Chains A and B, each alone.
Chain A
Amino acid sequence: MKAFITKAAAAAIVVFARAVTAVRAIWPEEGLPTRPCVYFANHSSHGDFVLVWTVLPPRLRRQARPVAGAEYWLKSRLNRFIGRDVFNAVLIARERDQRTEDPVTQMAAAIDAGSSLILFPEGTRNQSEAPLLPFKSGIFHLAAARPHIDLVPVWINNLNRVMPKGEIVPIPLICTVTFGSALRLAPDEAKDAFLERMQTALLALSPKPAGSGE
C-alpha cells in the first residue's frame, strides 16, 4: 500500500513538473552513462532535483537518489514523505556538529549499493547574481573515495524564475535541463584544480540567459 502511494505521488509530481515547466532535456551526444554515476547540478530552487529526476529516462530514474539536507527534508511530515519515501533521498546533515555520519561515507555507500546520485555541490541554493557559487569539497572527497565513478554535469535553466525563494505559487515557464559529457577525477589531481574543472564544465552548459535581453 505504501509503495503504491509513493509511486502515485512520484507520478503526480512528474506530471505537475512537466505541466508547469514543459521541461526539455538536452543530452550529450554519446548519451548518459548507464552504470551508476553522479549527476551534479546548479542549485537555485527546491524543485531542482525534481526536474532532473523528471527528465531522466525511467530506467536511470529508478536508480537515481538525490542528496539533500536532512534539516529541511525531515522538517515536517510532508517533507519527510516527499524527501525520504518518494525520492529516497540520501539525507545528510549540513551542520558539522549535528553529524552522526560522514556525508561522503553515506554517498559512497549509496553508490556501492547500485544507486546514482543527484548532487548539488554548491551546498546551498544560489540566491546571488553569480551563475554559480564556489563548489564545496564534498564532490572531490566522493570522487577520491570512488575514483571510477562518472561525474555528469547538469545545468538546470530557468527554474529559479518559476519559483523564486519565498514564493508559493509557481509561474509556468519553459525550463531546460542540459546534461554534459561524463567526467572523472584525474590521477593525482589536486582538490582545487578538480573543483575548478567541475565548475567550468558545469558553467559551459549554461545558455545565454533568456529574458535578460537588453
Chain B
Amino acid sequence: MSAALAFLLALAPPASAALSINASVNKTAVGLDDNIVLTVSVSADAASLPEPELPSMPRFNVHSAGRSQSMAFSNGRISNSAEYTFVLVPRLIGNAVIPPISVRSGSETHQTEPIAVTVTRPNEAPPQGAAPAAPGRPRPPRARAPGSGGTPPVFVTAEADNKTPYVNEQVVYNVRFHYSVPLMGNAEWSPPDTTGMLSEDLPPSGNQSTVIDGRNYNISEVKLALFALTPGKKLIGRGTIRCQVQKGVDVDPFASDFFRQFFAAGLTMAEPVALQTKPIELAVRPLPEAGKPAGFSGAVGSFKLRAELDRAAVKAGDAVNLTVTVDGAGNFKALGELALPEMPEFRVYETVTSLNQAKDGGGVRGSKVYKTVVVPKVSGDLRVPAIPFHYFDPARGRYVSLSSPPLDLQVAPGEAAAAPVGFSATSGPGPSAITTLAEDIRHVHSRAGSDGAAALAARIAGAGWLHAFPALLLLASGGFAYRRDVLEQDPAGVRARRAARAAAERLARSRKAAGLSEASALVGEALVGYLADKLSVPPSGLTLRQAVELLRRRWPRLPEGHLDQFRRLWAEMERLRYAPNTLRDAEVEELRDAVAELLKIVEEDTA
C-alpha cells in the first residue's frame, strides 16, 4: 500500500494544481457578547496542502478551533481538502471587516473575498446589577477606581472541572480574566506548565460581564482541554496574564461615551500588571485492569462506531472503500490503530486515518475516520466481519465494547476470472504461477470411505481380557511341551505310571472278547503286562518268582498278602490257559474282577 501510495503521489500534479480557498462565516451580525465561526476551506488536487495565512484582525480575538482534512483517490487523481475553523470574539462595537485570507503555493497566491461583519451591543439583558449602556436603559453603576474596594480592578481565577480524572480523560481548565478598567492594548496570556498532559486550546466563550462588590467587570476566558498521559499526581502550573491598565482612570466599556473616555484616558500613564493563576493539582487515576478488553488501545471518553462500504456489489478484483468512523468526545489523538478482523477473502491495504476535531467550551469532540481499501479476491456473497472497538467510559467507570454490524458485499467474477486461460510462448515470460486467492477449509467428504477399518481397529484395541487367551494358550502349550520333554527322558517311569491304565484297557477288552479263551488270555496279559510295566522288564519270559522277587526289591513294604494274591491269580491264570475246555464264564469273570481289585490295591500302595 505504501508503495502504491508513493506511486500515486509521484503521479500527482504539483500542489498548485486546482488550488482554491474559500472563507465563510456563520453570521455577519454579532453581538459583543457572542462570537463568529469563520470557516476557511483549502482544496487542491495534490497530496499536500498549504496553510492559509490569516491576516491581522485587531477588532477580534481569534482562536483556532480545529482542522479537518479529507483525501480521496479517484482514477489515479488525488483530491485533498482541509477545513480550518476559527472562532472570532469581537472586541469593539461597529462595522468590521475580515480581510482577505490568502494561501500560497509557489508563486501562486489565492485569496478569499473580504467579509463584512457588524458588531452590535449585547442583545441579552445586562448581567445582574449592571445597567445597560444604551440610551433609555439604566446605566450601570460607574466602576470604582482600582484599589478603592475589596476586589482588585483586575484579577484572574482558574479552575479544573475534574480533579480526579482517569488517564486520558478530558479535563477542561478554565481561566477567567476579570477587569473593570480599560486595558491598554491586548492582554498577553502565558499558559501554565502542563508537563505529563496533552493540551488542546479550546475556543473561549463570548465576552461576559459581572458585577462584584458594586464594580462592573468584563470577563475574558481562556480554556484548555487537558489529557493526563500517566496516572499519579499532576500539576497544572501557574498561568500568567500580562496587561497594561490606565493609571488612575476608570473607564466604563459599556458607557455611551466609551470612546471619549478611552481617548481621554490615553493621555494618562499605563501601568503594567502581571496576574498569575493558582496551581491546581490533579490526582490522575489509572485505568482499571478488571474487565479491560483484549483489543483496548487507550481510547477514553464516549464514542460511537459505524462502518460502511462505498459499494454493495462489485467484481472480484475491484477496490472497495471500507470506512470506519469513531465519533464522540475524548482525546482523539490517543485513539490507536483499528484492529480489523481477519478477512481471508479480501486483499486488505493499509488504513489511512483522518482526524476531524471540533472544539467548544465543553471540550474536544469530533471523529476519527479509518479508510481502508479492500479488494475481494473471490466472487460470491462475501461478508466483512464485525469490527470491534473498545473504549473506557469515565462517566460510567467501565470499559465499553462496540462492534459494527457485518457488511455484506456481492462480488461477481472479475475480468481476470472470466478471461480464457491460455499459454503462449510469446505472450509472456512463461506459464503463469498459481495464485492463492483465499485460504479456506476443504469441503466435506461425500463418501463414507473405509471407516470400518477404524472401527475394527478400535474394537481390536479395546478387546480387553480377550487378549489374555493367546497368552494362556501359549503358557499351556509350554507346560505341555515341558512335561512331554521330561517324560521322554524317563521311559521306565512313564511305563510304570501307565501300567495300571494299560492293564485296565486289557481288562476292558477282555469283557468284550468274543470267546472265553480270548477273554482269559487278555486277563492274563493284563496281569503279566502290569507287572512287566511296573518292573520295567519285558513281559515275555517273566516268571512269577522273578516278578515277586522284583516286587519285593522295588517295594519292600509291599504287604505279603498282595504277593500271595499275585501267586494265587497267576496260578489260576495258568490253569485256565492250559485247560481252556473247562472255562466257564463265572470263572473268567471272577478272575478279571480279582485281577482288577489286586492291581488297584497294588497301584495305591506303590504310588
Same complex: no
Chain B residues with a Cβ under 8 A of chain A? none
